[in-house]
Amino acid sequence: MSIFSFDLEESPSPLQSNFLRYQVNEDIVIYKGYCYITIEPFLIPFLGEIKIKWLPVPRLDFWGELVDNSDVIFLKERTSGYVLTDCGHLGNIGTITTEYNKRKDIISIFGSLQENQLQKDVIEVTCLIFCVVNCKDTGREFLKSTNGEYIYRGRSYFELGDWNVTLDVREDREHYYKILNATVGYGITHIGKLEKKDGSKFTIEECESLLGALQWLLSFISCRNVAICNFKGITNSVDLIWEKYFIPSISGYRNAVTSFPIDMKLECMLEPLHKKLLDPIWKQALPMIFKWYLESQSADHIDNKIISVQPALEMIAWTYLVIDKGKIKQDTFSRELRASDKIRLLLKEIGIELQIPELEDFKILRRWYKDGVHLYTDVRNNIIHPINNKKINSLSDSQKNNILLLGRQYLELCILFLLQYDGKYFNRLNKKYGPKSYEYVPWSIHKHKN
């Protein structure tokens, strides 16, 4: 028996979901049938559907036709309310509008929901299935195709305490990602599964922090806001007893040159991230750091991207050097140090090189600035407080882009340090740009020397 045939027989099949049949940017229908708008003390029936709409921006929408046109008067006076369905969905209404079709004598309603969930009395589940939107390809372990004819790298697997997390990229990923990128669109890229190692039941509240950590990690390594858009609670492997849909912040898909290798071991970062998000010292700071980092990737203008990096670095410096490790007194940090000094101390503590990279774009800048932090903060400050600085005002687009990459690389390395990552990263400022640009993170180089 060949190695390939052995792998084909032994490899597991990918996780499945009905949502995988929907194409990029195609509305996903959650429910279709009779619904009710509850506005105390009224219950207003309509025939319609609830769906996830991706364009122009992702949201949960409902629409339908009133069973009794006279009910429209209650909608016009609405201050709050919910949408119910025959099978138990409960959605908190965000907006609602009406439209009268005189020819058909029908009143249509349209609205958005803040969230929508199907919930029964039993809230304990043995397995949670979830869909991930716009995540980069994370497949590392082999899966068997649904037709059983070939294998492909499509699975990531995480163990965290009592939990097992499985994350499978969709089987048609090559074609699907091409469309996502071409349209800067939205779609289900992964199906995930969460369960206890011993197969025991658990509540949704028990795993919320873990799923939150996973969403932040996937967003970080994808360089965009990645979202988990729904949960389905299963018991006894088959019975759906709970589900919830919601639309957090999601970025349209764009191919991004990231600092992370394709075969990056995500599982080694999830546990440190989860612990930090539960730590009183980091639980508020870290989400803000991630938000600034993602803003540095998604902002429309390069100046806004450059601006977003510095507060994230300063937040890490404050939280790590002052609050967490106590290496600098609060008054000293707040009153005596400039922003560049704070960042410089942080990078030195971690072991990140401060010298300006030897790129052609930086050749003349190395004469004017003592290190990369000096260069980055001076450019950022000139954007915030414009002055007649001929050195900065004459920067080319290419120089500005590499300055952004320099600051962002500082930030990426700091986040990787906090997540205790000790593998390789892609140094985009290495003039040897290519496979050799993958280097071990600075704090782990000594561990990997021959």
Domain boundary among 271, 291, 308: 271
Q: Each residue of 184-211: b (16+ CB within 10 Å) or e?
A: ebbbbbbbbbbbbeeeeebebeebeebb
pLDDT tens-digit series, residues 127-170: 999 999 999 998 888 999 888 888 888 999 999 999 999 999 99
- Supply the range of the domain harboring residue 228: 122-271
Residue 436 pLDDT: 63
How many domains is the chain built from? 3
Residues 79, 156, single domain; the answer is no
Domain boundary among 271, 296, 311: 271
Residue 11 pLDDT: 85
Residue 189 pLDDT: 97
Tell me the β-bridge partners of 144.
Answer: 151
Residue 240 pLDDT: 74
Within a domain: 62: yes
Residues 90, 126, single domain; the answer is no
Residue 119 pLDDT: 57
Within a domain: 7: no
Residue 433 pLDDT: 60
- The residues, ordered by sequence, that sit 6+ positions from 409 with a Cβ below 8 Å of its Cβ are 259, 427, 428, 429
Within a domain: 362: yes
Residue 116 pLDDT: 63
Residues 384, 424, single domain; the answer is yes
Residues 90, 200, single domain; the answer is no
Domain boundary among 271, 295, 322: 271
Q: Which two tokens stand for residue 387?
A: 């002055």
Within a domain: 146: yes
Residues 131, 166, single domain; the answer is yes
Residues 95, 242, single domain; the answer is no
Tell me the β-bridge partners of 100.
Answer: 107
- The residues, ordered by sequence, that sit 6+ positions from 338 with a Cβ below 8 Å of its Cβ are 377
Residues 115, 130, single domain; the answer is no
Within a domain: 246: yes
Residues 131, 204, single domain; the answer is yes
Residues 298, 432, single domain; the answer is yes
How many whole angstroms separate alpha carbon 110 and alpha carbon 286? 37
Residues 115, 162, single domain; the answer is no
Residue 79 pLDDT: 66
Within a domain: 9: no
pLDDT tens-digit series, residues 61-109: 999 999 999 888 888 766 678 898 888 788 888 888 899 998 999 999 9
Residues 99, 144, single domain; the answer is no
Within a domain: 13: no
Within a domain: 12: no
Residues 109, 42, single domain; the answer is yes
> Which residue ranges in the chain fall short of pLDDT 70?
1-7, 77-79, 115-122, 237, 262-263, 388-390, 431-436, 449-450
